[in-house]
Structure 1
Amino acid sequence: MKKNVLMIIMTVMMAVVMAACGNNNAKTETTEPAGNAATPTENAATPAESKEVTITHKLGEAKLQTNPQKVVVFDFGILDSLDKLGVEVAGVPQANIPPYLKKYEDKKYANVGSLKEPDFEAINALDPDLIIISGRQQDAYEELNKIAPTVFLGVDNTKLVDSFKENMITLGQIFDKQAQIDEELVKIDTSIKDIHDKATSSGKNGLIVLANEGKLSAYGAGSRFGIIHDVLGFTPADAKIEVSTHGQSVTSEFIAEKNPDYLFVVDRSSVVAAEGAEATSAKDTIENDLVKNTKAFKEGHIVYLDPNYWYLSGGGLVSMVEMINEIGAAIK
């Protein structure tokens, strides 16, 4: 009898001990550091918070949610900015994409037409949350705005750097990237000051021309390439050049007459040649007997600017830095 009672007591005590061990093990598992064993919840990407904002731009207002998921971008400068900021996009115009943005030719990105002719059907099919345009698409604004909130982020050539900064601040607002934008703008301001000081202290003037299929157009202060004069400090070789989108038509005789210290050349043909046509070399157009008599040629100051930045995608966080650096590198 005593033996049976003793066995019962020992059995109860063993059960109590086992239960306590089980509780301790459970407690240890729930307090295990997350770094030792990630759960599915920990591995999942946390969606960025969004809130409604109203963006005022040149063509109107757009009400949208911050951190939009499906974005269509028609401006290569804005595209290179979003790429640098780590913001994914859904659709781009895939014709004439600059080589440094070649990844956007991939099929994972929808082709939404060309820079001047949006493919409304393709854009509709995407059902985007936001469409970003600039000058080349502004005539299509009303139609695009019917599909999704559309924001114009083109640059104003009469105040290029200021409007560029405004566009970047707008991107920061839309995609919650203000701190990163501010950091990049500080770097750009520092570079501008350094190059401006070098250009002004050199006392040299400059002439900017665009070469297109054997024809030449000059651009002065306040023009699409006027940053060279207005911001970076080169005195215009001719202060009376007509300010227009397509520049003032000029000849080699004009260049020889102005005899600039620096001749800056943007080769449009190399990036926008007609399909199937062989581009005319800007160097062949520029470096004739007349131009070879200028100070620019004799001193090795004919500077062929990269048209991918200057013509196709100016006004981006990447392209703006490259444009500024090209001018800085040219100063001797």
Structure 2
Amino acid sequence: MSRTALRGTVLRGTALLAAALVVTSCGSDSGDEETSAGGGTPSSSSSGAFPVTVDTAFGEVEVPEEPTRVVALGWGDAETALALGVQPVGASDWLGFGGEGVGPWAEGLYDEAPELIETIEPSYEAIAALDPDLILDTKSPATQERYDALSAIAPTIGQPEGADQYLTSPEQQLEMIGAALGKSEEAAALQAEVDQAFADAAAAHPEFDGKTVVVGTRTSEGYGAYVEGDTRVEFMEQLGFTNSPAVQELAEDSFSVSLSNEQLPLLDADLTVMFPIFIDASEITDDALFQAVPSVQDGRAVVLDDTTLTNAFSIGTPLATQYALENAVPLFADAVS
């Protein structure tokens, strides 16, 4: 399915409520059975399912009624809620999009722009002033202090059990948010659309299968590379690539590792994908040390200098992922071939 078609699914009217993959936040009022979700257990998709219970790293969280005032604070939480037809009243803008705080692939999904909330150190007073009945914080610093402060305001869906800071997978994020919103069936259907898009891309490029990849970056502080569990690495793995064992051996408790200039040869792989963060791409492409990496010399490297594409590649929400598949995969194919 193309990004346009997928986005069109998000924008369908309430007449398709029962069958659409993405729906508005209204639903049936019948029934009071409590259901549980999180860590792979689905819940009902109608408002009649409430209350629902979502398992998180901080314990079970009950959402007593269908939420109508959602504050989305985690990385990608707002876009995920929008993809399920729910418009947050407050949201954090992790990638500095400005405006509504979402990427161009999600433009037009708000009727009214949310109030933007800081990311690492949000204002709890500003959040409380929005009078939320649900807070989404599924991909964040995930500290107990942060969770306690947020849950004192409203039921808060933190990271799943076992996930380190920022390492909630896109699948977990979609499942947990779908459960908390009473839209697990819609979330599962949307996940199936994303999975099929990856399967189609991988089938179209069998040359990706089993190839090693390094996904790296450079900031003003130096080079780094991502490890398993990070959204960008998972993206490549779903295309058939394997994260470079040499980089993976450096992994600790974070989603990335720093690389000294002496370690830049570790960027070598069957495919090297790089992007700049708050620097110009030329600081990568013109660097003699980077140019000396074998994959770079052989033309098996891609430097993503389009900020929109790097943001889509990084945030991992359903609409962003579709955008990245359409625009990044051809670049990868050219480099591998």
Asked if these proteins are the same fold (TM beyond 0.5), I'd say: yes
Report the counterpart of residue 192 of structure 1 in structure 2: 198
> After superposition, where does 1:198-217 map in structure 2 within 5 Å?
198=205, 204-213=211-220, 215-217=222-224
Change (3 A) 1:72 1:299: same
User: Partners in 2 of 1:206 and 1:248 — Cα distance?
Assistant: 15
User: Does 2:179 correspond to 1:173?
Assistant: yes
Specify the code of the residue in structure 1 equivalent to 2:329: G
Moved beyond 6 Å, runs of 4+:
102-107
Report the counterpart of residue 331 of structure 1 in structure 2: 333
User: Partners in 1 of 2:135 and 2:182 — Cα distance?
Assistant: 17
- Between Structure 1 and Structure 2, how many residues are aligned? 273
Specify the code of the residue in structure 1 equivalent to 2:177: L
Report the counterpart of residue 120 of structure 2 in structure 1: 116
Preserved contact between residue 66 and residue 174 of structure 1 (Cα < 8 Å): no
Deviation at 1:250, TM superposition (A): 1.6
Preserved contact between residue 72 and residue 135 of structure 2 (Cα < 8 Å): yes
Report the counterpart of residue 23 of structure 1 in structure 2: none
**Match of 2:240, SS?**
coil
User: Partners in 2 of 1:173 and 1:106 — Cα distance?
Assistant: 23
**Match of 1:138, SS?**
coil
Deviation at 1:78, TM superposition (A): 2.1
Preserved contact between residue 208 and residue 218 of structure 1 (Cα < 8 Å): yes
Change (3 A) 1:207 1:71: same
- 1:246-305 C-alpha deviation (Å, 9 max, x unpaired): 622224553346533321113322xxxxxxxxxx21332344233334333542632417
> After superposition, where does 1:43-122 map in structure 2 within 5 Å?
49=29, 50=47, 51-94=50-93, 96=96, 97-100=101-104, 108-111=113-116, 113-122=117-126
Structure 1 gaps, min length 5: 1-44, 270-279
User: Does 2:263 correspond to 1:254?
Assistant: yes
Deviation at 1:145, TM superposition (A): 0.4
User: Partners in 1 of 2:180 and 2:138 — Cα distance?
Assistant: 17
User: Does 2:329 correspond to 1:322?
Assistant: no
Preserved contact between residue 72 and residue 92 of structure 1 (Cα < 8 Å): yes
Preserved contact between residue 135 and residue 157 of structure 2 (Cα < 8 Å): yes
Report the counterpart of residue 281 of structure 1 in structure 2: 280
Deviation at 1:187, TM superposition (A): 2.0
Specify the code of the residue in structure 2 equivalent to 1:304: L
User: Partners in 1 of 2:127 and 2:243 — Cα distance?
Assistant: 43
User: Partners in 1 of 2:287 and 2:311 — Cα distance?
Assistant: 25
Q: How many percent identity over aligned positions?
A: 21
Change (3 A) 1:143 1:230: same
Specify the code of the residue in structure 2 equivalent to 1:109: P
User: Partners in 2 of 1:251 and 1:300 — Cα distance?
Assistant: 21
Q: Which deviates more, 143-152 or 97-106?
A: 97-106
Change (3 A) 1:300 1:150: same
Change (3 A) 1:202 1:290: farther
TM-score (norm 1): 0.68
Q: Which structure's CA Rg is the greater one?
A: 1
Specify the code of the residue in structure 2 equivalent to 1:296: V
User: Partners in 1 of 2:62 and 2:313 — Cα distance?
Assistant: 32
User: Does 2:305 correspond to 1:299?
Assistant: no
**Match of 1:239, SS?**
helix
TM-score (norm 2): 0.68
**Quick one: which of 268, 273, 287 aligns to 1:264?**
273
Richer in helix (by share)? 1
Report the counterpart of residue 138 of structure 2 in structure 1: 134
Report the counterpart of residue 148 of structure 1 in structure 2: 154
